[in-house]
Structure 1
Amino acid sequence: MKIVAETANCVGAGMCANVAPSVFDIDAATGLVQVLLAGGDVPAAQEGAVADAIAVCPAQALQWGEGAGA
């Protein structure tokens, strides 16, 4: 599965980084979400945490990407 972060929608709340710190971080320069995974490819073991991050994002800036099947 792939994760997509729409930085144009991001408000920098950092909830995603709190829920899934191995997948998301807040960029120090922009204050916006960044995906730490190459190509946005989410390992199966992290899919639950990413789903939780999507659910708690106050700006709805996170979504499963094309071909994700979710």
Structure 2
Amino acid sequence: MTRKPYGEASPTPEWIKSSYSTDEGPDCVEVAAVPDQILVRDSKTPHGPRLAVAPTTWAKFLPYASGN
């Protein structure tokens, strides 16, 4: 896993907000798929840091995040 400053990421990733996030709530996580990486960020600070993980790592993480 790597942490990338905003300027190093893909220029226009398409961000998807977590279905568990609300506009009023404190938990706002967004993800975007770019070539060879899945990006994760806090939607309250869109120009802040983001995590970058390999798609295989993300796929292994999802069952834990969804509770399935």
TM-score bin, normalised by smaller chain: under 0.3
Larger strand proportion of the pair: 2
Query: Rg bigger for which structure?
Result: 2
TM-score, with structure 1 as normaliser = 0.27
